Structure 1
């Protein structure tokens, strides 16, 4: 079973986000991301928020998660960032989602397979977050915010996900500071090779004698 796009869910999430964020000066990227999160109808949504960033994306993802029934987790860099995030969310009357604080690898190891993931391009552990994320066998939609900023010029999805996933398509949407979107599927060849026991026993039959010879490969 793979991720299936639902226009109805996308529209519901988009409309509710527009209504909720109507007082924000710039919320186009939040509205688009919310519609995408709702439309793909994922089981699990991750956001990695960066201190000083706008809060509209979180509001939109919360709305999308509510419509789809998805689990939504926001990853924060430290306790200071956590306090800042909670204050910003509560200021705008949005519910605080499930929060996790810590290093990228340590946090991601405690989380299940992700199907929709948004990472702020301002995070120092940007590449690490995507690299260590466990991607769903149904496929995953990955988004990196800030795609048009100078420091993001060399960002490439194939370098981020490596051999564990196959990049199906990608696009940069010029909303906000740019959103780089990658749709990936599991790389079955990689999964088979990584799970193979290389210290295996190999059997060979001597055609002349009929004897069976067993040795370690």
Structure 2
């Protein structure tokens, strides 16, 4: 069974995010991501957040999760970020939507989350590729969102290069909203054969340089 689009839930998440974030000057990043999360009806939403990041995207995801009855996990790197995140959500009146907060390295936390169906990561994070690769995505498929892609050196970047052989990129696109969103919809191919070794490609987000090694 695959992820199925629900326009009704997408619209509800979109409108409620506008109200919560008081965004009135056209469609923004938080609204779009919330609408996508609401529309794809994921059972598990995961995001990586750190001190200094905008809180609006997280509010949008939390609203979508609330409409869907989905599990929403926000990963923060340390206690300072956890306190800042909680305070920011409360200051925006979104305490009722507060998600699960997991403290630790994002690439390690996602390994403990089985069946991620909607993942949001800042492309400026140096561990971006490691987080995506380590994520245990759902057999139903998943939507991956890279934020701030226009601020990164995306030369040569391809989602297929940072995903396992068991994951196929169905389609991807870059949306000029906020600082740029690189979005991919992926599906599971059922995994590789037992014992089969594979080539792993790591792309440096700043230089665009590729590093290839055997897995």
Give TM-score, length-normalised by structure 2.
0.84
User: Deviation per CA, 1:155-192, whole angstroms, max 9, x where unpaired?
Assistant: 3201111312000000000000001000000122xx15
Shift of 1:89: 1.1
Q: Please name the residue that 2:8 is paired with.
A: 8
Shift of 1:122: 2.7
**For 2:77 and 2:24, how far apart are their aligned partners in 1?**
25
Q: Please name the residue that 2:46 is paired with.
A: 46
Aligned ranges 1:173-192 → 2 under 5 Å: 173-188=175-190, 191-192=191-192
The structure number with the bigger radius of gyration is 1
**For 2:25 and 2:180, how far apart are their aligned partners in 1?**
16
3-state SS, counterpart of residue 151 of structure 1: coil
Gaps of 5+ in 2: 197-215
Shift of 1:25: 7.5
Q: Indicate conservation of the 8 Å contact 1:50/1:123, yes or no.
A: no
**For 1:192 and 1:120, how far apart are their aligned partners in 2?**
29
Q: Indicate conservation of the 8 Å contact 1:21/1:27, yes or no.
A: no
Shift of 1:118: 0.5
Q: Please name the residue that 1:56 is paired with.
A: 56
Q: Indicate conservation of the 8 Å contact 1:50/1:120, yes or no.
A: no
Q: Please name the residue that 1:118 is paired with.
A: 120
**For 2:38 and 2:21, how far apart are their aligned partners in 1?**
16
Shift of 1:51: 2.3
Q: 1:83 to 1:136 in 2, by over 3 A?
A: same
Q: 1:173 to 1:148 in 2, by over 3 A?
A: same
Q: 1:101 to 1:152 in 2, by over 3 A?
A: farther
Aligned ranges 1:1-217 → 2 under 5 Å: 1-22=1-22, 28-95=28-95, 96-188=98-190, 191-194=191-194
Q: How many positions carry a matched residue from both structures? A: 194
Shift of 1:83: 1.8
Shift of 1:153: 3.9
Shift of 1:23: 5.5
Q: Indicate conservation of the 8 Å contact 1:115/1:135, yes or no.
A: yes
Q: 1:86 to 1:24 in 2, by over 3 A?
A: farther
**For 1:24 and 1:75, how far apart are their aligned partners in 2?**
29
**For 1:25 and 1:88, how far apart are their aligned partners in 2?**
22
**For 2:127 and 2:46, how far apart are their aligned partners in 1?**
15
**For 1:50 and 1:124, how far apart are their aligned partners in 2?**
12
Gaps of 5+ in 1: 197-217
**For 2:177 and 2:67, how far apart are their aligned partners in 1?**
23
